[in-house]
Structure 1
Amino acid sequence: MSILALQAFFRRIDNSNKFQFVVIAVIVLSALSIGAHTYRLPAWINNTLLILDYSITVFFLLEIIIRFLASPSPGAFFKKGWNIFDTLIVLGSLVPIGGSTILLARLLRIFRVLRLISVVPELRILINALLKAIPRMAYIALLMFIIFYIYATVGSIVFVNINPELWGDVGIALLTMFRIATFESWGAIMGEVMTVYPLSWTFFISFIFLATFIFLNMMVGTILDVMAKETRNVERETTTKDQMVATVQDIDALKAEILELKALLIQKNQH
């Protein structure tokens, strides 16, 4: 068997829906086995889970090797970020469970669940959209920090005598504003301040309106916008690939027809 034929064979395995389903099933099984280790189980079950863990590790290693061999070249394989991500997780799983590395090995095996992201296309779209939205979200986060800082400074100046544990300085006040933004006991904090400053509700309500209803919705809107663009790009790439496959099939059909016509012409000339 030639190298190209062997590569095509591994590519068919890698693109097989059944193979992808098996990979997903093994990832889920790996997550369940890691969770089972957190319970107190009989020795025979622990030994069974240990054998299962080694089997899963070997399967993931073989799966990465198949994907590597199915790739046109090593450079093409490592050019994709998801392949590097999967390779690092699999290499981390090779740390043996036992001795001084048992804790590290179990912690590294937890991350095998993340392989679902690289296997399921829809999850890849979500992560790609989130990564692409980070630069835009950074500016929104900066604007949020400015608002947090302004309100925290005002609170630490005006409300410090009411409760120094909440408004003692800007750092403590920032934590207090974060509690208010997450609605954690914000009513009690506002009620305590309102006993001294009855109109202080405007301070808290305006902050909640800005921090929760405006800036958080801006972040959600940014992520949704990037997700919509990412989805359109994936659909466009899929459509292009389908068109290319259809074009190749049409070319093959035309070649077959031309060969048939040539054969008919040769037969007529012979007669």
Structure 2
Amino acid sequence: MIKKLFLNETFILALIIINALIVFIGAFQFNDKTVSYILFYTDHAITILFIIELYFKVREYGFSGYISSNWNKLDFILVLLSVPSFLIFFDLDLDLSYLLIFRLLRIFKFFRFLRFVPGIENLIKGIIRALRTSVLVILGFTIYLFIISLFSCYLFKNSSPELFGDPLKALYSTFKLFTVEGWYDIPESIISGSTTPFIRILTNLYFILVMITGGIFGLSLVNSIFVDAMVSDNNDELIEKVNELDKKIEKLINKN
């Protein structure tokens, strides 16, 4: 009876939903510590149930049979990631920041929702196909971002050290420009300290060029190729079916 319960995917989905609600509610601050304790221990009790589920499935299918499924591999990894959160029950000489990380790891359990999403396998195949198709475009875009970031760093690191003071800051600021986020704030902060009109004009023209090439054209090109590859169906199979249909039509016409 217990074994069938833990092999029932509907029961597991219900546990995941309840656990998600508990963790969500537990993020609020409660004056009553009793409520926090109940949520805390219930969350870990459900984690124990997930471990029991793992035990029954491995026992039912064997470890090699269980791990042969990609979804089961994901479940196995996510359950293992949530296990370190039990360390808070032991009197260990650990920094509180480490304990917080262990507690945060349990959030990864909710990636198990993915296996219950209708059509998720086709969606994942579409994403993989899109990544393979657009890998060269993404690489080219990344190289362009890197070059513009370094160029901007050397140009504006003295006039705007908070935005372009080092390559990492410049990389972040340039990416913001590419996403058309703060495209007017960044040049305004740079030219505000400049008293030369000619320098202001050149600065504005430079950032307009960066935004157009990287944001409007570059990022849009990456998005369009990625989305087009992701939503496209298996065209080869469709072409084969159309060719077979054409052959059947030709045979019918020849008979007549």
Same fold (TM over 0.5): yes
- Give the AA of the match of 1:35: F
Structure 1 gaps of 5+ residues are: 1-8, 237-271
**Equivalent residue, structure 2, for 1:255:** none
Task: Name the residue aligned to 1:213.
Answer: 216
CA distance in 2, matches of 1:43, 1:161: 52
* Residue in 2 that maps onto 1:187: 184
5+ residue gaps, structure 2? 239-256
**1:108 alignment partner, one of 105, 109, 116:** 105
User: 2: distance between equivalents of 1:155 and 1:217?
Assistant: 22
**Which letter maps to 2:127?**
L
- Describe the shift of the 1:126–1:166 C-alpha distance in structure 2 as closer, same or farther (beyond 3 A): same
Aligned AA for 2:136?
Y
Give % identity.
Answer: 25
Q: What is the distance in 2 between the residues matched to 1:167 and 1:32?
A: 42
Q: What displacement does 1:51 show?
A: 4.3
The answer on 1:98 being equivalent to 2:101 is no
Given the alignment of the two structures, is residue 35 of structure 1 paired with residue 40 of structure 2, yes or no? no
- Aligned AA (1:56): I
Equivalence for 2:241: none
What is the one-letter code of the residue matched to 1:206?
A: L
Instruction: State whether residues 153 and 167 of structure 2, in contact with CA within 8 Å, keep that contact through their aligned partners in structure 1.
Output: yes
User: What's the offset of the Cα at 1:74?
Assistant: 3.7
Residue 264 of structure 1 corresponds to none
| Structure possessing the higher radius of gyration over alpha carbons | 1
- Aligned partner of 1:48 in structure 2 is 38
Letter of the 1:49 counterpart: L
CA distance in structure 1 between the partners assigned to 2:47 and 2:104 by the alignment = 14
TM-score computed with the length of structure 2 as normaliser? 0.65
Q: What is the Cα deviation at residue 177 of structure 1? A: 1.8
Moved more, 160-169 or 101-110: 160-169
Aligned match of 1:24: 13
Distance 2:174 2:72 in 1: 42
Instruction: Report how many aligned residue pairs link the two structures.
Output: 219
Q: Quote the residue 1:57 is aligned against.
A: 47
**Helix, strand or coil at the partner of 1:186:** coil
Cα distance, 1:220–1:160 mapped onto 2, change above 3 Å: closer
Task: Report the Cα offset of residue 30 of structure 1.
Answer: 0.9
1:1-271 map, 5 Å: 19-41=8-30, 42-68=32-58, 71=61, 74-95=63-84, 96=86, 97-99=88-90, 100=92, 103-156=100-153, 162-163=159-160, 166-167=163-164, 172-191=169-188, 192-193=190-191, 195=197, 196-229=199-232
Given the two structures, how large is their TM-score scaled by the length of structure 1?
0.62
